[in-house]
Structure 1
């Protein structure tokens, strides 16, 4: 996870604001409708709402394909169906229907036909054909149980012919729907201004009559019906809630109902229509089909209702479709109003804020995480938000879905672009600069730590690591150049992997020597401990190579390692045209001298007291001596790491105790006793053997009184 600065914060906020503003802007308003479509599909597929059609307050009487194929309607113009329609409507009313609405418009009457028929027109010959139908309309209208439909239009209005309007005393309401820019119906108008006054739409009129109330305008500006404030995201509209995907609206075939009238089964009409709002409309495969919020989930033209007289047509299996018959749009609107179940959408300010906040969260993730991690975060958060939105939609609250998802995805892309072009330039520079001589994990630590080395150098507390192969020149003389290169590549690769695996940085290779540092360029508070662990692992690895790698067979390679901790200057040092990232200080020189000092004591690893002090109690140590290295006047105590604390062997413990006792006698000028103590372990411990010889020499030739127990090394 990368660190973010003030510039990143400003960029994140601006990107979120831009993405949110773009995806909630009017040109992309169709995204709001798409959210409704997706939520409707998700609810239908994942949650479902299989309500019993028998509980629906609305039913549909369908002039369907069966009607067109059934006598007496088969082959007859629809204008001749009016008297049969009147009879069926009368039976529906007697069955206890609350109100009947027409979603079909008879724009003319067969009585109006002027086609010549003999010495007069055909219409004159059948004058009075619609009388029974008009009487039925008048009776139903007088009882307040009938509303005819019309289509309002400045160019081509569609209205019932004049005799029907008179019969119902102008109880005609608009069937117009609200169509979005993508030609999808998601909302229903509540009223229309006619002659300067608002007239309820068909669905509102039917619901009002069923509830026994009138639509009113509340002080808030919302339309209220029987105490229900109809939610309106777009003024004077209601967002439709297709909760049952059309399957929850019982649908009766007009042909079957006409046969039921002939049969005289009044009980069937009571069972089917008592207390219901009835909509009469056409349900055909290629007429009056509407795209709605169910276009993705695929809706149904109602649910087949119980039949009365005719058997169901063979092979008529209802299939879900992307479009539905227009009458079910009005049926859904009526049911939403009666059940107070219209969808509540957030207004523009709330949608905009929610979209910006979501985009801001993803932009922050993209700012802090790698692109792949940010993409996973986007997928995860979008899935969680979609689940929340779905849960809200189950309760008829529509949260924006596509706008936050797309805006956040755009914010993700923009933030990645911003990081690539601006924010991560320095990081990419550092990665390219160190790629060939620094381990990837060290580069990552350096970048994420936020503590980059300053160009030209800076003071850092580090631990230096020097190693060198013992007697390498004589070994090299016995090998061909190819064999030598192969062995050195194996050795240096193995050692480098261990050093870098412990957070170290290999500064340079000098022949068979390795110069490395811990604590830079990546900041590492445990650099001393990591350096000692690396030295122990390198020593173990060389023993493994000698034993198991054919390239090393017969050579018996051994190496010496020197460790020292302290302040050093690290940075890019060199000429203006060529420089190296390296380190300079007395800390470096001492580590180099300690590497060479191993040969005097027969040890493999030697560390300064400064390194020991910074490792706390992580390792088991033994103090070797106090020495004065070449080029340095001050004496330093040197130590040998034996193993991780608690992991030392019994023999190491025994040797360490004897060595410590002999060193104490040595420093107390008890040279004979020191020689005897060292001799006890000299055969298994080279440092003890070396000290035994020195002690015996001083027994033979005692030092002057000003003698100090410091070993001054003459060579490197």
Structure 2
């Protein structure tokens, strides 16, 4: 409503926004809503999962339910756990197909009862394509023998040095225990890879690490080890991954490309029998070309083998498929980049500040809510767009923060509106009608209190001979008379849409067209003046019987541009007007004494009536303190004899044309009229017998107020 009020609102909005931003930063720092934020990320991932095709080089050979059933059939007769030599045909088939490398997502731990088959399997591993064997890092369990651990440490140090695969402590977690392949297989494997995975706090696998540490040696996770074994992971690329890991808080968000079997997946027994068919000179069930230049995972997908993990896409997602997804992210640089905390905090702060300021300053609640939901929708679309391009920008905390900012902004708006309404009702309660107050309260922006130039119709009234009236009454009676008199006239003014400026003793000062614009303000003002006079005539007998006096009233009205606004102090409200138009209205009230009239209006007011109220032109006057000539009019009430008005106007025309004899004759015919009587007196006083053509003007030069 005012600049000061808006500044207070903006200050309150900034305070709400900053408080909300600090609260959001606190929640982010202490990870209060991490689990819920992760759920929103899962929602986004499910909607972008199938947008990018998987790397065609990555293949999966799955020990699925059909493979277990086929192996356990009477034809084969092998139950789980399978002897290790069953994996030999797989390696030989992949070698024939020209695969680049294979990783076993299976723990081949201590040698089983088939020692000879273990040794044969290790021999095939060493003689065929590069093989990565799985190890498990943990913090509990039965430790390996000292000799095995020593052999493991030597191998890892040698491999890490040879292939530049060592991980710094800052990017790899340390573990107290390592579960290794049986010694011969560990030696035969080109590299070892960790299958240790850590879910988020809610048990869902969304992230991966680069690997882990046991003692002084580091070990890559299985997908990275497979990439390295295939020659697809350079030292420089590993350094980039380490930088990304550190930037993402020690874990890399995985971009899932789809659900189970997103990557080409072949049943273990289908590949097994394909090798046998090739050996027998028949076409394989699985074409050799499927594995040319492939990076292959061999892993378990059968539900009974319990290598299933909850992921954002599925609650039972094969672990081998998860590792294939990680490998795809490594080969194609597809890991999700999570926005750093400072960026999320900056985004949240900007959003909540915008919401708070907009809601506090908005004109209507509907506009504010529509704008809020548009902003929310825009932000959701933005984070989806970012997710599509591999960026994880926080959604949950900003949404909650924006909602809190909205609620805080609405509370502040309610508070300011309440204060504003109370101020308006308190400030204008005695100045305008309840209907006008309701209009202002409904739309406070229509109200300008800071001062503005506006055209008003101004009303001044005074009791004729008030000094004499007051002398005939006791103080208590005088107060009662004034209260009843002022109440009667004020009610008429307020009901017509006028604004009461003030009382000055028995005088009433009012105006129309402020604080709210009033269409036809001149008409309403003059109509109210006529109604006031008619109301007093109606109350004449009452006043005379009760007080023995009658408060005859004179009214002056003028329309003109003035400055209107709150001209009070910081502690006192005074909505009033200042300007020459105000002074003229006051002068016209006094001019009534000269002509014996009860209402006089200026030419400016008369012009705006556009003939809707019948008036008679009283003449031209020059009031005290003004040099310009003002034409004044008297609105006709029910007390006027309208048949005499035409005679008066004819007489006035003769007078102004210096045809004094004709004027005198006509004025004499209506001498009971106060204005006509005044003109007759002037004709006599000025001795109209002067020579026609002498310097003379019809204007009344008034010398008193």
TM-score category by the smaller chain? 0.5 to 0.7
1:183 aligns with 2:212: no
Question: Which residue in 2 is equivalent to 1:279?
Answer: 297
Question: Which residue in 2 is equivalent to 1:223?
Answer: 241
Name the CA distance, whole Å, in 2 between partners of 1:167 and 1:389: 48
3-state DSSP class of the match of 2:70? Answer: coil
Q: Is the 8 A contact 1:35 1:400 kept in 2?
A: yes
Name the CA distance, whole Å, in 2 between partners of 1:662 and 1:48: 99
Name the CA distance, whole Å, in 2 between partners of 1:285 and 1:620: 97
Deviation at 1:334, TM superposition (A): 0.7
Name the CA distance, whole Å, in 2 between partners of 1:280 and 1:21: 49
Larger radius of gyration: 2
* TM-score computed with the length of structure 1 as normaliser: 0.63
Name the CA distance, whole Å, in 1 between partners of 2:42 and 2:181: 39
Question: Which residue in 2 is equivalent to 1:209?
Answer: 229
Question: Which residue in 2 is equivalent to 1:669?
Answer: 658
Question: Which residue in 2 is equivalent to 1:474?
Answer: none
Question: Which residue in 2 is equivalent to 1:654?
Answer: none
Question: Which residue in 1 is equivalent to 2:88?
Answer: 86
Name the CA distance, whole Å, in 1 between partners of 2:651 and 2:21: 78
1:192 aligns with 2:190: no
Name the CA distance, whole Å, in 2 between partners of 1:677 and 1:254: 129
Report Cα offsets for 1:508-564 as digits up to 9, x if no partner: 99xxxx9963465x4x7xx6876237669999xxxxxxxxxxxxxxxxxxxx99554
Q: Is the 8 A contact 2:493 2:499 kept in 1?
A: no
Deviation at 1:338, TM superposition (A): 0.9
Q: Is the 8 A contact 2:254 2:335 kept in 1?
A: yes
Question: Which residue in 2 is equivalent to 1:392?
Answer: 386
3-state DSSP class of the match of 1:147? Answer: strand
Name the CA distance, whole Å, in 1 between partners of 2:15 and 2:521: 45
3-state DSSP class of the match of 1:268? Answer: coil
Q: Is the 8 A contact 1:371 1:416 kept in 2?
A: no
Q: Is the 8 A contact 1:535 1:561 kept in 2?
A: no
Residues 564-583 of structure 1 aligned to structure 2 (within 5 Å)? 564-565=559-560
1:137 aligns with 2:145: no
3-state DSSP class of the match of 1:89? Answer: helix
Residues 695-706 of structure 1 aligned to structure 2 (within 5 Å)? 704-705=687-688
Instruction: Identify unmatched segments of 5+ residues in structure 2.
Output: 142-176, 462-489, 530-554, 636-647, 668-672, 689-695
Pick aligned residue for 1:451 from 443, 449, 456: 449
Name the CA distance, whole Å, in 2 between partners of 1:284 and 1:660: 114
Name the CA distance, whole Å, in 2 between partners of 1:665 and 1:42: 94
3-state DSSP class of the match of 2:196? Answer: coil
Between Structure 1 and Structure 2, how many residues are aligned? Answer: 581
Pick aligned residue for 1:375 from 369, 376, 393: 369
Report Cα offsets for 1:312-342 as digits up to 9, x if no partner: xxxxxxxxx3452222222111111111222
3-state DSSP class of the match of 2:106? Answer: coil
Deviation at 1:240, TM superposition (A): 1.1
3-state DSSP class of the match of 1:361? Answer: helix
Q: Is the 8 A contact 1:97 1:275 kept in 2?
A: yes
Deviation at 1:273, TM superposition (A): 1.8
Deviation at 1:202, TM superposition (A): 1.6
Question: Which residue in 2 is equivalent to 1:150?
Answer: 135
Pick aligned residue for 1:433 from 408, 418, 426: 426
Instruction: Identify unmatched segments of 5+ residues in structure 1.
Output: 112-125, 300-320, 468-491, 540-559, 643-658, 679-689
Deviation at 1:367, TM superposition (A): 2.8
Considering only aligned residues, what root-mean-square deviation do their CA atoms show, in Å?
A: 5.9
Name the CA distance, whole Å, in 2 between partners of 1:634 and 1:257: 116
Question: Which residue in 2 is equivalent to 1:68?
Answer: 68
* TM-score computed with the length of structure 2 as normaliser: 0.64
Name the CA distance, whole Å, in 1 between partners of 2:412 and 2:326: 48
Q: 1:237 to 1:591 in 2, by over 3 A?
A: same
Report Cα offsets for 1:188-242 as digits up to 9, x if no partner: 1013233324432222222333453334488xx7437xxxx74653344322112
1:531 aligns with 2:521: yes
Name the CA distance, whole Å, in 2 between partners of 1:186 and 1:198: 23
1:56 aligns with 2:26: no
Q: 1:101 to 1:528 in 2, by over 3 A?
A: same
